[in-house]
A and B are shown apart, each in its own frame.
Chain A
Amino acid sequence: DAGVTQSPTHLIKTRGQHVTLRCSPISGHKSVSWYQQVLGQGPQFIFQYYEKEERGRGNFPDRFSARQFPNYSSELNVNALLLGDSALYLCASSLKWGGYEQYFGPGTRLTVT
């Protein structure tokens, strides 16, 4: 079975631009979470979605938004990019929301110049 897939793999954007990152969960998984990993640190929780509804939000500004589609795939959107948004963005899927184990995709490396 395919694991979690993310696109694109790498992305270079300019300050002030907008970016959309995409994620497809493992087949049968209905929950998707997004994490930001800055170089040298552990991932930080951004959002969790389950059955197309937001179930959790981390301490990130309103420039960050996300949504989940009927097929359980998800998009993460970031507006008005800042240099500090440069990071690896990880998507994780799980069967349900709550304490179920999460499986991560390879990530999207975003560089803001």
Chain B
Amino acid sequence: GNSVTQMEGPVTLSEEAFLTINCTYTATGYPSLFWYVQYPGEGLQLLLKATKADDKGSNKGFEATYRKETTSFHLEKGSVQVSDSAVYFCALSESSSNTGKLIFGQGTTLQVKP
């Protein structure tokens, strides 16, 4: 079945460091790919998306490129801030089932220290 795998956390960085959170997926067809962020005690916020191969999603300095050849959608940011500390979820939206249900990775916790 379809699945998403994220790098293990926590990821601990100093402020202004470069961030990469790896995400790979297994899916039939052509899923849409998403990154969501969850701050402590809150629901999920859509961070960015990409709907087809080679698309680059970007928002608030974060970006990710849909790589079909490597089945990856890695999240990057050039300079992280303390306020970026949160749990990041990679997800795919199934295209074959027509429900659009989201399949999530296990989440990666990011801790940014001043």
Contact = CB atoms under 8 A, between A and B. Distances in A.
Interface of A: 4, 31, 33, 35, 40-45, 48, 55-56, 58, 90, 92, 94, 97-107
Interface of B: 4, 31-32, 34, 36, 42-46, 49, 51, 89, 91, 93, 95, 97-107
B100 A43 contact: no
A105 B95 CA distance: 23
A60 B6 CA distance: 24
Contact of B44 (A55, A58, A90): A90
Contacts of B100: 31, 33, 48, 56, 94, 97-100, 102
Contacts of A56: 97, 99-101
Contact of B98 (A4, A42, A97, A103): A97
Contacts of A31: 100
Contacts, number: 71
A104 B38 CA distance: 10
A42 B99 contact: no
Contacts of B4: 42
A104 B44 contact: yes
Given A42-B107, A43-B104, A99-B93, A105 B43 contact: yes
Top 5 nearest A-B pairs (CB, nearest first) are A56-B99, A42-B104, A104-B44, A104-B43, A45-B101
Contact of A102 (B42, B102, B105): B102
